[in-house]
Amino acid sequence: MKRWLWTVVFLGVAAGGVWWAVQALAGDEQKVRRCFSRLGELIDKREGESLILAAARGQALGNLFSDDFEARTEVADLSGHFTPEEISAHAVRARSRFSRLELRFADVQARVLPGGREAEAAAVATLSGRPQGGGDFGTETRLLRCRLRKGDDGHWRFVDAELSQGLAR
Amino acid sequence: MRSGWRHFLWPEWNRRFLVRLAVVAAAAWLLFSQFLLPLRIRGASMEPAYHDGGVNLCFRGRYWFGTPRRFDVVAVRLAGTRVMLLKRVLALPGETVAFQHGRLLVDGQPVTEPQPVLAGGDWELPPRRVAPGRLFVAGDNRSMPIEQHVLGEAELERVAGAPVW
């Protein structure tokens, strides 16, 4: 094989190694972004999900939130202060109403504040799913602005979140 | 001629070809990530001008040397440029905008919109003054209840561009 082709292969492998190292040594901003992907994974539901898995996901979901999480939404029932246990219970109940659910985040912007213990983040959340009774829930898109705090265990947790349509009505 | 086609469809992977490929890929990335953002339209709020499922390009340079005018269609950023709102500018900073029985009023005067709109929702919106540095935007589909329609004020800095067609 020609030398230049070996060079291309070497550069590809080297680039992959650098990418892996960056992922492994991710900074706090990367960890904050991962909270969103983790939240999406835990909300997602496929048809035929077992009760045990649903409960485990609800439990894990609560661990992403701080002890006194504040939500601000257009819906009064979903606004207020919640404990992780309340969030778990809400999530299990809400997910049980759907046979399929998908939450995706796009344009995740994260900024760690001076001091390194708090971060501000914004993202576009897209929720789609199919209710248990049939039909189609459609797709809802909202702008999510939130604050996260780093715990003593090094994990980032959501402290507050505001969901809006993105335009001042 | 036949060998020319064969060469075009199945080129020899030599250094020159790889350089050309890299240049074309870099140019395409630059063009479609910075200047002409591909858009897929979701939702019916801009019917009849833009249909659900339609595709377009957002030209980011549209307002580099100017500001949006009334009835321009603009793409409004939310958190970034992957998901944006496609809306029509109805009122400019400092103007008062309202809807009465589905009719658009700007500074208290009825305004005839040049573009076709889907009427029937009988929108009612009390007069409101658009804050400085903001635009009032809404969709063309006024057949849906105003409560279900995403409309309101957007900061000028969040206007990412305009659709190409």
Per-residue model confidence as pLDDT tens digits over B13-71: 888 889 999 999 999 999 999 999 999 999 999 999 999 999 999 999 999 999 999 99
pLDDT tens digit sequence for A72-98? 998 888 899 999 999 999 999 999 999
Portion of chain A with pLDDT greater than 70, in percent: 97
Write the DSSP symbol of residue A68: E
- Helix ranges restricted to H, chain A: 3-24, 28-43, 51-62, 84-96
User: pLDDT, tens digit, for every residue of B75-121?
Assistant: 999 999 999 999 999 999 999 999 999 999 999 999 999 998 898 87
pLDDT tens for A102-127 read 999 999 999 999 999 999 999 999 99
Report the distance separating Cα B102 and Cα B104, nearest Å.
Answer: 7
Task: Look at A167 and B152 and tell me if their CB atoms are within 8 Å.
Answer: yes
Strand ranges inside B47-163, DSSP E: 55-59, 73-77, 84-91, 96-100, 103-106, 109-110, 125-129, 134-138, 152-155, 159-163
Q: Supply the pLDDT for residue B93.
A: 97
CA–CA gap between residue A118 and residue A151 (Å, rounded): 10
The whole-angstrom separation of Cα A38 and Cα A7 is 38
Distance from the A167 Cα atom to the nearest Cα atom in chain B, whole angstroms:
5
> b or e along B109-140 (b: 16 or more beta carbons within 10 Å of the residue's beta carbon)?
eeeeeeeebbeebebebeebebeeebbbbbbb
pLDDT of residue B90: 97
Tokens 């969103």, located at residue: A36
> In whole angstroms, what is the distance from residue A96 CA to residue A105 CA?
22
The predicted structure's pLDDT at residue A168: 87
Give dist(CA A135, CA A132) in Å, integer: 8
pLDDT of residue B1 exceeding 60, the answer is: no
Q: Which residues of A touch B154 (CB under 8 A)?
A: 166-168
Please tell me the distance from the alpha carbon of residue B88 to that of residue B133, in angstroms, as a whole number. Answer: 16
Name which CATH class applies to B36-163: mainly beta
The mean pLDDT value for B139-163 works out to 94
Which residues on chain B are in Cβ contact (under 8 Å) with A144? 79
Burial of A38 (0-12, 13-18, 19+ CB in 10 A): middle
Q: What is the pLDDT of residue A77?
A: 81
Note the pLDDT of residue B86: 97
| % of chain B residues with pLDDT over 90 | 82
**Pairwise CA distance, residues B64 & B157, whole Å:** 11
Q: Which residues of A touch B78 (CB under 8 A)?
A: 107, 124, 143, 166
Query: Contact A167/B134, CB-based, under 8 Å?
Result: no
What is the pLDDT at residue A24?
A: 66
Q: How far is B19 from chain A (nearest CA, A)?
A: 12
Q: How far, in Å, CA of A106 to CA of A126, rounded?
A: 8
Distance of residue B83 Cα from the nearest chain A Cα, in angstroms: 7
Residue B2 predicted with pLDDT over 60:
no
Query: How many C-alpha atoms does A91 have within 13 Å on its Cβ side?
Result: 29
Instruction: Give the tens place of pLDDT for each residue, A5-61.
Output: 888 889 999 998 888 877 666 688 999 999 999 999 999 999 889 989 999 999 999
What backbone phi and psi angles, to 5 degrees, belong to A121? -145, 150
The pLDDT of residue B13 is: 84
- CA B114 – CA B109 distance, rounded (Å): 15
Measured distance CA(A103)–CA(A127) in Å, rounded = 5
Predicted confidence at residue B148, as pLDDT, reads: 87
